[in-house]
Amino acid sequence: MTAPTAAPERRTIGFDKDHPRYKWVALSNTTLGVLMATINSSIVVISLPAIFRGIRLNPLAPGNVSYLLWTLMGFLVVTAVLVVSLGRLGDMYGRVKIYNSGFVVFTAGSVALALDPLHGGDGALWLIIWRLVQGVGAAMLFANSTAILTDAFPVERRGMALGINQVAAIAGSFIGLIVGGLLSEVDWRLIFFVSVPFGVLGTLWSYLSLHELSERRPAKVDWWGNSLFAIGLTALLVAITYGIQPYGGHTMGWTSPLVLAGLIGGTVLLAAFCVVETKVPEPMFAMRLFRIRPFWAGNLAGLLASVARGGLQFILIIWLQGIWLPLHGYAFEHTPLWAGIYLLPLTVSFLVAGPISGALSDRFGARAFATGGLVLVALSFLGLMLLPTDFSYWAFAGLLVLNGIGSGLFSSPNTTAIMNSVPADQRGAASGMRGTFFNAGSSLSIGVFFSLMIAGLAATLPQTLRTGLTSHHVPTGLAQAVANQPPVGSLFAAFLGYNPIQTLLGPRAIAQLPAADRTTLTGREFFPHLISQPFHNGLVIVFLMAIAMSLIGATASLLRGRKYVHGDQSQQVEQRQALAA
């Protein structure tokens, strides 16, 4: 099967592809696409309590944690797995064609999610399946947006353009928290319906205004490479998803045979993928690109930064929704909205720093901005680690601003450096690989940071929980039984902004307690006070790991070398050496 070398001309509106203003059409359209996709990657995170109330399912009940995790993780897993294959198909069949299809698939998934007719476990399965469909559409958008921009903009303006696009991609994950918090206050279905008008607009606009600027390369589909990569990465990410759930008598499932099989088998298949891609004549991904130092260094730094940033998002939500906001008088049902509002300094500072650093990197190169940005991110993690659990908001906001500036300084120049370093006919695959590292990092962050937090909670939470319950006349045997339960339930309760005490004790046991104790245990402050110190112990472990990842990423960024643009005549010697077979 070979890719067509030409396609029938279609009617377009706006500017011709050779018009100097066409690049701005491409920028605005691709920015809308990635913004829509990344908003939906986080809008569900903040809205999970409203979603599960809407489908009448208690996510903390035994057996329901898998529904919670797959509603959260399914979108990220599918997107991470498919972006490389879809980027390569864009090189073969047309980047604009795959990108346009992404809007259609994503919009269809959004409509189906908003119209979920079921309740309970069936309603959760409906959401999971159509979130997977949304993930396919998002992967089509992610895989080709940066390649379309790289085609449309000259070298001297790419940093600014890719900077805006990348800022939209990452800012969307923070904007989604605010939008989700607002819409979940009204109706949970609006969380999904909000994407529909933008999806319809994007579908029509991209079809009528975008032009195919790249030369298509006739090639056979690399079935072996696609299969090994998809199965291997899926197995790895699914194993991580189940690794944070209890198994047997253990607080987590990392010793489960199925989890170990997924981790080992997925790693072996990805290693086989790397070998196969060096042998087949027309690989899904040209592994020789990893001989280019700016490419491998930028992607390694991007993966580590994505893991650290994803972990930050989840930890801040737990911190605000489960502890800080209830301690400051906010009802649990309103914490998603206010968590999004209190995270605004992070979003705003990132939106300001990203485009500026992208434009400056066109002139000075990416190394100084990207490296310095990750160092600032590491410093912000250190500051957050030193804050008390019940912090002063202005100190917290200042550290959010520092983190947002650092992330903005890193993201835009890093993306530009990666895309500038590859040949034009490999931009779709390179964009897909960059997207894989970005989205896989977000998935990995859930497994890594939740595991670290659970490990920290397991050391101190049982004793704290037992002491706190018995001090309010809960029978010792019941308090001990509750304390012996895996801490993942308490962690998810904090993540969702729930008070789990009534679920843990049961309504009958609570009804037998004195009225004053009953009121205290089910009030808004008991559980946040109870979990705050164990949470801080876990917080230290999590942020130490985030600091380490940021500093290793900064080191990789530093190693990228001076400014490099593939095809620059002054760099032909370096280029030939890097791409030598």
Measured CA angle at 244 (ends 241, 245), to 5 deg: 100
- Extract the tokens encoding 484: 């012996």
Burial of 309 (0-12, 13-18, 19+ CB in 10 A): buried
Burial of 311 (0-12, 13-18, 19+ CB in 10 A): buried
Measured CA angle at 505 (ends 120, 479), to 5 deg: 145
Q: Are 191 and 184 in contact (CB under 8 A)?
A: yes
Strand partners, 247: 250
- Extract the tokens encoding 397: 């906001």
Q: How far apart are CA 151 and CA 161, in angstroms?
A: 11
Question: Which of 163, 173, 179 lies closest to 352 in space, CA to CA?
Answer: 163
Model's pTM, two decimal places?
0.78
Element (H, E) at 504: helix 501-505
Q: How far apart are CA 85 and CA 224, in angstroms?
A: 12
Which CATH number is 22-219+282-456+535-579 given? 1.20.1250.20
H-type alpha helices, 365-475: 367-386, 393-420, 427-470
Helix (H, G, I), strand (E, B) or coil at 15: coil
> Phi/psi of residue 68, each to 5°?
-60, -50
Q: How far apart are CA 383 and CA 174, in angstroms?
A: 20
CA gyration radius, the chain: 24
Per-residue pLDDT of the chain (581 residues; tens, 9 = 90+): 444 444 444 444 555 555 567 888 888 888 888 888 888 877 887 788 888 888 988 777 767 777 877 887 788 788 878 877 787 777 777 888 888 899 999 999 999 999 999 998 899 999 999 999 998 998 888 878 877 887 888 777 776 777 777 777 777 777 787 788 788 878 889 999 988 998 898 888 888 888 777 666 656 777 788 788 888 888 887 888 788 777 777 777 888 898 899 899 989 998 998 888 888 877 777 788 888 888 888 889 988 998 888 777 778 888 888 889 888 888 777 777 788 789 889 888 888 887 788 778 877 888 888 999 999 999 999 999 999 989 999 999 999 999 999 988 898 888 888 878 888 777 767 777 777 787 778 777 877 887 888 877 877 888 888 888 898 888 888 888 888 877 777 777 766 766 777 777 877 888 888 888 888 888 878 888 888 888 888 888 888 989 999 999 999 988 887 776 766 544 444 444 544 54
Burial of 186 (0-12, 13-18, 19+ CB in 10 A): exposed
Question: Which of 552, 177, 551 lies closest to 381 in space, CA to CA?
Answer: 551
Find tokens 């921009």 and name the residue: 149
- What residue spans define the domains of the chain? 22-219+282-456+535-579, 223-281
Q: How far apart are CA 189 and CA 534, in angstroms?
A: 35
